[in-house]
Chain A
Amino acid sequence: MGKQVDLLQGTLDMLILKAVSLGPLHGYGVLLRILQISGEQLEIQQGSLYPALYRLEHQGWINSEWGESENHRKAKFYRLTAAGRRQLQSETDKWNRLAAVMVGIMSTKPEEI
């Protein structure tokens, strides 16, 4: 049980970092951006979004600033920090390696053994 949550959490963190790396976003915007860039494939649990944002800010990977939203409300905007950019890069590399390995494994045919 615990392991799965960890994996999900890690993925969520990566998605958020990727989303804000494309430009400053408020929390709701992060939700929409992930939905958009995933081609409406991934919908994030709204409740887990905010603790994740706070955790990432706590780690120093993103920082936040109050500003005005497109609908003229006071909103908190998150942007990637230099440390966050490095973190995103290393997570991306890790993910790509894992994905490549997984693809290799999953496409193995009986005669290749």
Chain B
Amino acid sequence: MSRLARLRSWWKWMAKRQQLESDMDTELSFHIKSHAEELVRRGVPEEEAIRQARIALGFIESHKDAMRASVGLRWWDELGIDVRYAARMLGKNPTFTLVIVLTLGLSIGANSAIFSVIDGVLLKPLPYPRAQQLARVFYRSTTYEKFPLNPWDFLDFRARNRSFESLAMYMHADLQLSGMGSDPVKLSAFRVSSGYFRVLGVQPARGREFDFSEERPGNANVVILSDRVWRNQFGRAADILGRKVLLDSRPYTVVGVMPVGVNHPGNSYNSIAYGDTVDAWTPFPFEGDSNNRGSHYVEGIGRLKPGVTVEQAAADFNGIMTQLASQYEGDRGWTIYLVPLFQEIVGSVHKMLLVLLGAVGLVLLIACVNAANLLLARAAARQKEIAVRAALGAWRGRLLRQMLTESLLISLLGGALGVLLAIAGVRALVSFLPVGFPRTDAIHVNAFVLLFTVLVALATGVVFGLVPAVQASRTDPMQRLREGGRGSSGAAGQTRLRAILVVGEVGLACLLLVGAGVMLRSFVNLLRLDPGFRPQHVLTAEIALPSANYKTADNVAGFYQRLLGNLSALPGVHAVGAGTDLPWTGYDENMGGFTIEGKTPPPHEEFHARYHTASSEYFRAVSIPLLRGRFFNDQDSKDGPRVLLINDVMARRYWPGEDAVGKRITFDDKPKDSDWFRVVGVVGDVKDVPRSKAAEAAFWWPVLQVPLMSMNMAIVLRADSDPVLLTDALRTKVRELDPSLAVAHVRLLDRIAEEQFSTPRFALFLVGLFAALALLLAAIGIYGVISYSVSQRMPEFGMRVALGASSWNLLKMVMKQGVLLAVIGVAIGLGCALILGGILENLLFGVSARDPLTLIAVGAIAIVTATLASLPSARRAIAADPITCLRAE
């Protein structure tokens, strides 16, 4: 009550300062007049009465001051005075102010920018209601950390588990939308089990979700469209529900339209929210033999019951897994791995972001130390002024407050600059984020980020202002004034303090430099790596054949054969092939199980490898080398003996010490002789992505013999010169064969390869930038300290010159001081780098975070920088003129 009244009264007078002043004047003059009138009534002459009344009241200005203080305005008034004074002091020394505000602004801005990324990616909840209940479901074996599910197993999990409110599965299966009167469009589509949207907690804006009956084969020709497809392809048609659309040349009935911004939860390789990039969803039809538990190709996701932990749910699932394993051969050797969706989506960047935040935080710390250092230097120059103020009666707290006002003013200016930089920087940062970075659409400079910036700025101001302020307010006025402001005695302690700060700066900068250095080496290692193929001059595109028009394997194979034939006849084409997978693009977690002739797998293990399909020229087109045997050729036809190509990893894993060429494997449980595939060649390894530890075992079927139909293939065209020139020819050739086909994702293979380096390049660029900034700040710090110390010692240098010291001697004296600071700083910084190195370990490739070469290089860079930073001061020392210096004394 009373506090509210005080606040209201304070605010009233804050708003009406003028009225307060005139009120006080009127009230006090009324008092004097009334008192005087009474005195006159008692017989005192009028003039004398007024004089006496004034005397009785006392010193009016001091009363008014007390009255202002009574309504809580004095603190405010003093603050105003402090701010004006601080602004004047800063304006007097623009270079000093500019250096501090710029360095602080840069580092605060960098912090805010990185923080806005962290806020969007790590702090904001996922765009699903009660997202913390969502978890992804994977299999796990001794060989595979995360493995996709088998659809029949999924049905058993859905029926038997007691831990999930709802459980769903999905798989990527793009569709081609045609019959719209224009060119066919490729839709990014998913097959989902019924209940998929219920798990995510989103509902169609129109229509309904799939029901269980639509999971049955034959009922699955229904589709839910995204808002974007409904808008762009159907012009927001109001009668969209129930309409028949042609997908892969088959009629589907539209049963729903999703609202804007339905985010895809990501799948294993692209463990990233695709944003709202999914165009259509169709039901997953459960068809075929439900005893077939060996193939794994669907992704699992579920919504946990409230209060059920991931561990409890995993125990529940593993119980079911044990039951299944006793029933089905194909389910042995697996356990269940459940991971919260949030962790699955951001896990890959979590660590990198925290490392970046740490790095940028270090930069801010260095900027603080630097600012404190500069303020200390200036406080030294202002000792006399402060001494005078103390002598005139300013109490210590008041001096402290005034100094802190100055540092807070600087830091808030820096914060304001930082906000501007952050707003501009976040846009640049987002556009520079690595390909496939999760949740980029959630990154904004919002109110929370601004609040963070203001708090950081205030904290910064206190941190770098406190030490100099305490130092200055401790000034003993008598001593300072006696010394005439040259301050030689107290300066020793201060110089030591500043030296400690500079050592700290150098140490922190070294820490950042080591980080940047090892990241650079790791990046170079990645670039130097032999990719296993040659991405230059290769154009790629994707084609999906609708199964309605290409019903048999012959149709499919015939189409690709004709297309490849036509393309290879084009001028400028070096080699052209087709394959189900492009190097370094990720895979839909396919892992085919098979039987090797004459071998039995170890218990609880199966023979697995990634399966692909490729045309005979595919390997020449991407330049994957043949190590043994032969590539595919024309004999590997539909009726010819079954053949395979395998990669080196597969050869070594399954035929160690033997020649794999000529060996046979099969995919049938009870194979006839014609079901055996003979290995005809071994090709070089290509890793899934360049940072993978090793390549996975893999094999290729020839297009004409593949047991599954490969409807979707990537065309790879190796050109003699610029492959972009072949784009139009490629489209023409496809249209000539089948005008209903879409040529999608036309890309250059070297661009695809380059994207794989975008994440380490991103981290390297930022950490490198921060390290450079840190080094610059440390150099400014060293320069400041040495420069100050030289100006203090000028008389001494003059004396030395007079006594015959050579320039070289003086140079050495000054430089030694700077280098000594750097050496101590380097020792501390490298020590910290050795201790903290573990943090970076997972982010590096082929180099240790404690790489000795990097440590040595960083030490050298820091010491050279220190030498350069002390050079200008050293030159000043050499130029010391004995006469001037001695006269100044």
* A69 in contact with B9 (CB, 8 Å): no
Residues of A within 8 A of B67 (CB): 50-51, 54
Q: In the complex, how many angstroms separate the beta carbon of B257 from the nearest chain A beta carbon? A: 61
* A47 in contact with B6 (CB, 8 Å): no
For A86, give the chain B residue with the smallest CB separation.
Answer: B1
Produce 1/0 per residue, A28-58, CB < 8 A to B: 1000000000000000011110111011011
**Does B144 lie at the interface of the complex (its beta carbon under 8 Å from any beta carbon of A)?**
no
Residues of A within 8 A of B71 (CB): 54-55, 57-58
Specify which of A47, A76, A83 is in contact with B1 (CB 8 Å cutoff).
A83
* B34 in contact with A59 (CB, 8 Å): no
Interface residues of A, count at CB 8 A = 23
**Does A10 lie at the interface of the complex (its beta carbon under 8 Å from any beta carbon of B)?**
no
* A28 in contact with B35 (CB, 8 Å): yes
For A56, give the chain B residue with the smallest CB separation.
Answer: B70
Interface-side segment among B53-61, B532-540, B591-599, B722-730: B53-61
Specify which of B8, B26, B62, B69 is in contact with A47 (CB 8 Å cutoff).
B62
Produce 1/0 per residue, B231-264, CB < 8 A to A: 0000000000000000000000000000000000
**Does B72 lie at the interface of the complex (its beta carbon under 8 Å from any beta carbon of A)?**
yes
* A60 in contact with B1 (CB, 8 Å): yes
For B60, give the chain A residue with the smallest CB separation.
Answer: A47
Produce 1/0 per residue, B28-41, CB < 8 A to A: 10110111010000
Residue among A28, A52, A55, A57 with most chain B CB within 10 A = A28
* B63 in contact with A47 (CB, 8 Å): yes
* A83 in contact with B30 (CB, 8 Å): no
For B27, give the chain A residue with the smallest CB separation.
Answer: A76
**Does B66 lie at the interface of the complex (its beta carbon under 8 Å from any beta carbon of A)?**
yes
Residues of A within 8 A of B6 (CB): 58-60
* A58 in contact with B70 (CB, 8 Å): yes
**Does B23 lie at the interface of the complex (its beta carbon under 8 Å from any beta carbon of A)?**
yes
* B63 in contact with A50 (CB, 8 Å): yes
* B26 in contact with A46 (CB, 8 Å): no
**Does A18 lie at the interface of the complex (its beta carbon under 8 Å from any beta carbon of B)?**
no
* A59 in contact with B5 (CB, 8 Å): yes
Bound Cα distance A69, B63 (Å): 22
For B72, give the chain A residue with the smallest CB separation.
Answer: A58
Bound Cα distance A73, B32 (Å): 12
Bound Cα distance A45, B31 (Å): 13
* B5 in contact with A46 (CB, 8 Å): no
* A75 in contact with B10 (CB, 8 Å): no
Residues of A within 8 A of B66 (CB): 47-48, 50-51
Q: In the complex, how many angstroms separate the beta carbon of B515 from the nearest chain A beta carbon? A: 55
**Does B2 lie at the interface of the complex (its beta carbon under 8 Å from any beta carbon of A)?**
yes
Interface size class of B (residues with CB under 8 A): 20 to 34
Q: Contacts A47-B57, A54-B67, A54-B70: A69 and B5 contacting too (C-beta < 8 A)?
A: no
* B31 in contact with A74 (CB, 8 Å): no
Bound Cα distance A40, B41 (Å): 19
Bound Cα distance A54, B12 (Å): 13
Bound Cα distance A51, B822 (Å): 59
Q: Contacts A47-B59, A57-B9: A75 and B30 contacting too (C-beta < 8 A)?
A: yes
Residues of A within 8 A of B5 (CB): 58-60, 83
Specify which of B2, B58, B59 is in contact with A83 (CB 8 Å cutoff).
B2
Q: In the complex, how many angstroms separate the beta carbon of A35 from the nearest chain B beta carbon? A: 11
Residues of B within 8 A of A45 (CB): 58
* A59 in contact with B23 (CB, 8 Å): no
Residue among B5, B69, B71 with most chain A CB within 10 A = B5
For B55, give the chain A residue with the smallest CB separation.
Answer: A46
Bound Cα distance A75, B71 (Å): 20
Produce 1/0 per residue, A75-105, CB < 8 A to B: 1100000010000000000000000000000
Q: In the complex, how many angstroms separate the beta carbon of B75 from the nearest chain A beta carbon? A: 13
Q: In the complex, how many angstroms separate the beta carbon of A46 from the nearest chain B beta carbon? A: 5
Q: Contacts A27-B31, A57-B9: A74 and B57 contacting too (C-beta < 8 A)?
A: no
**Does A71 lie at the interface of the complex (its beta carbon under 8 Å from any beta carbon of B)?**
yes
Bound Cα distance A51, B2 (Å): 18
Q: In the complex, how many angstroms separate the beta carbon of B607 from the nearest chain A beta carbon? A: 86
* B28 in contact with A51 (CB, 8 Å): no
* A28 in contact with B56 (CB, 8 Å): no
Residue among A27, A54, A71, A83 with most chain B CB within 10 A = A54
Q: In the complex, how many angstroms separate the beta carbon of B72 from the nearest chain A beta carbon? A: 7
Residue among A51, A55, A71, A75 with most chain B CB within 10 A = A51
Residues of B within 8 A of A75 (CB): 27, 30, 34
For A54, give the chain B residue with the smallest CB separation.
Answer: B70
Q: Contacts A27-B31, A28-B30, A71-B37: A60 and B63 contacting too (C-beta < 8 A)?
A: no
Residues of B within 8 A of A71 (CB): 34, 37
Bound Cα distance A37, B72 (Å): 31
Bound Cα distance A75, B58 (Å): 20
Bound Cα distance A46, B550 (Å): 107
Q: In the complex, how many angstroms separate the beta carbon of B25 from the nearest chain A beta carbon? A: 11
For B37, give the chain A residue with the smallest CB separation.
Answer: A71
Q: In the complex, how many angstroms separate the beta carbon of B70 from the nearest chain A beta carbon? A: 4
Residues of A within 8 A of B56 (CB): 46
Q: In the complex, how many angstroms separate the beta carbon of B131 from the nearest chain A beta carbon? A: 49
Bound Cα distance A55, B9 (Å): 10
* B9 in contact with A58 (CB, 8 Å): yes
* B27 in contact with A60 (CB, 8 Å): no
Bound Cα distance A71, B35 (Å): 11
Residues of A within 8 A of B26 (CB): 74, 76
* A51 in contact with B33 (CB, 8 Å): no
Bound Cα distance A24, B564 (Å): 105
Q: In the complex, how many angstroms separate the beta carbon of B186 from the nearest chain A beta carbon? A: 73
Residues of A within 8 A of B62 (CB): 47
Specify which of A58, A69, A73, A74 is in contact with B10 (CB 8 Å cutoff).
A58
Q: In the complex, how many angstroms separate the beta carbon of B235 from the nearest chain A beta carbon? A: 66
Bound Cα distance A69, B56 (Å): 21
Bound Cα distance A30, B63 (Å): 17
Q: In the complex, how many angstroms separate the beta carbon of A17 from the nearest chain B beta carbon? A: 14
Residues of A within 8 A of B24 (CB): 50
Q: In the complex, how many angstroms separate the beta carbon of A28 from the nearest chain B beta carbon? A: 4
* B2 in contact with A28 (CB, 8 Å): no
Bound Cα distance A46, B67 (Å): 13
Bound Cα distance A48, B24 (Å): 14
Residues of B within 8 A of A74 (CB): 26, 30
* B70 in contact with A51 (CB, 8 Å): yes
Q: In the complex, how many angstroms separate the beta carbon of A19 from the nearest chain B beta carbon? A: 15
For A48, give the chain B residue with the smallest CB separation.
Answer: B66
Bound Cα distance A99, B56 (Å): 32
Bound Cα distance A44, B28 (Å): 16
* B57 in contact with A46 (CB, 8 Å): yes
Residues of B within 8 A of A46 (CB): 31, 56-58
Q: In the complex, how many angstroms separate the beta carbon of B434 from the nearest chain A beta carbon? A: 59
* A50 in contact with B33 (CB, 8 Å): no
Q: Contacts A28-B34, A50-B27: A55 and B70 contacting too (C-beta < 8 A)?
A: yes
Residues of B within 8 A of A54 (CB): 67, 70-71
Bound Cα distance A83, B2 (Å): 8
Q: In the complex, how many angstroms separate the beta carbon of B14 from the nearest chain A beta carbon? A: 12
Q: In the complex, how many angstroms separate the beta carbon of A58 from the nearest chain B beta carbon? A: 5
Residues of B within 8 A of A50 (CB): 24, 27-28, 31, 63, 66-67
Residues of B within 8 A of A26 (CB): 27, 30
Bound Cα distance A24, B275 (Å): 71
Residues of B within 8 A of A59 (CB): 2, 5-6
| 29 A–B pairs (Cβ distance < 8 Å), ordered by A | A26-B30, A27-B27, A28-B30, A28-B35, A45-B58, A47-B59, A47-B62, A47-B66, A48-B66, A50-B27, A50-B28, A50-B66, A51-B63, A51-B66, A51-B67, A51-B69, A52-B70, A54-B71, A57-B71, A58-B5, A58-B71, A59-B6, A60-B6, A71-B34, A73-B30, A74-B30, A76-B23, A76-B27, A83-B5
18 new A-B contacts at CB < 8 Å, known A57-B9, A73-B34: A27-B30, A28-B31, A45-B58, A48-B66, A50-B24, A50-B31, A50-B67, A52-B70, A54-B67, A58-B71, A58-B72, A60-B9, A69-B30, A71-B34, A73-B30, A74-B26, A75-B34, A76-B30
- In the A-B complex, list the 8 residue pairs whose CB atoms are closest, starting with the nearest: A60-B5, A51-B66, A54-B70, A47-B58, A55-B70, A28-B34, A54-B67, A58-B9
